A = this chain, B = another copy of it.
Amino acid sequence: MTLEPDGPAFTPIATLGEFRLIDRIRRRIGPPRSSGTLLGIGDDAAVVSVPDGARLVITTDLLIEHVHFDRTYTPMRHLGYKAMTSNISDVAAMCARPNAATVSLGIPNPVSVEMIDALYQGIAEAAERYGVDVVGGDISGSHKLVVSVTLLGHANPDELAYRSGASPTDLLCVSGSLGGSYAGLRILQQNKERLLSVGAAYEPDLADHAFVIQRHLRPEARTDLVETLLSEEIRPTAMIDVSDGLASEVRHLCTESGCSARIMAKDLPIDSRTAAAAAYLDENPLDYALYGGEEYELLFTMTADSVAELRSAGADFSVIGTCMAGDDDPVIEMTDGSTTPLIAEGFRHF
Residues of chain A touching chain B, judged by Cβ–Cβ distance below 8 Å, are 13-14, 17-19, 38-39, 42-50, 52-53, 55-64, 66-68, 90-91, 93-94, 96, 100, 102, 104-107, 135-144, 146, 148, 150-153, 160, 162-164, 239-241, 256, 346, 348-350
| Contact present for A57 and B46 (CB under 8 Å) | yes
Q: A44-B239, A48-B56 are in contact. List 8 more A-B contacts (CB 8 A).
A: A45-B94, A45-B96, A56-B152, A60-B150, A62-B140, A64-B143, A141-B350, A146-B148
Question: Chain B contacts of A350 at CB under 8 A?
Answer: 13-14, 17-18, 107, 141
| Contact present for B52 and A53 (CB under 8 Å) | yes
Minimal beta-carbon separation of A228 from chain B (angstroms): 18
Each complex incorporates copies of this chain amounting to: 2
Partner among B45, B46, B144 whose Cβ is within 8 Å of the Cβ of A142: B144
| Contact present for B58 and A100 (CB under 8 Å) | yes
| Contact present for A56 and B50 (CB under 8 Å) | yes
| Contact present for B44 and A240 (CB under 8 Å) | yes
Q: A67-B142, A163-B44, A350-B18 are in contact. Are A62 and B106 (CB under 8 A)?
A: yes
| Contact present for B64 and A241 (CB under 8 Å) | no
| Contact present for B146 and A106 (CB under 8 Å) | yes
**23 A–B contacts from the bound complex (CB under 8 Å):** A18-B349, A38-B55, A42-B256, A43-B240, A45-B58, A45-B90, A45-B93, A45-B151, A46-B58, A47-B55, A47-B94, A47-B160, A49-B56, A50-B50, A52-B52, A58-B100, A58-B150, A62-B138, A64-B142, A66-B143, A67-B142, A144-B144, A146-B146
Question: Chain B contacts of A144 at CB under 8 A?
Answer: 142-144
| Contact present for B66 and A45 (CB under 8 Å) | no
Assembly CA distance A318 to B148 (angstroms): 37
- Among A39, A142, A240, the one with the most B-chain Cβ atoms within 10 Å of its Cβ is A142
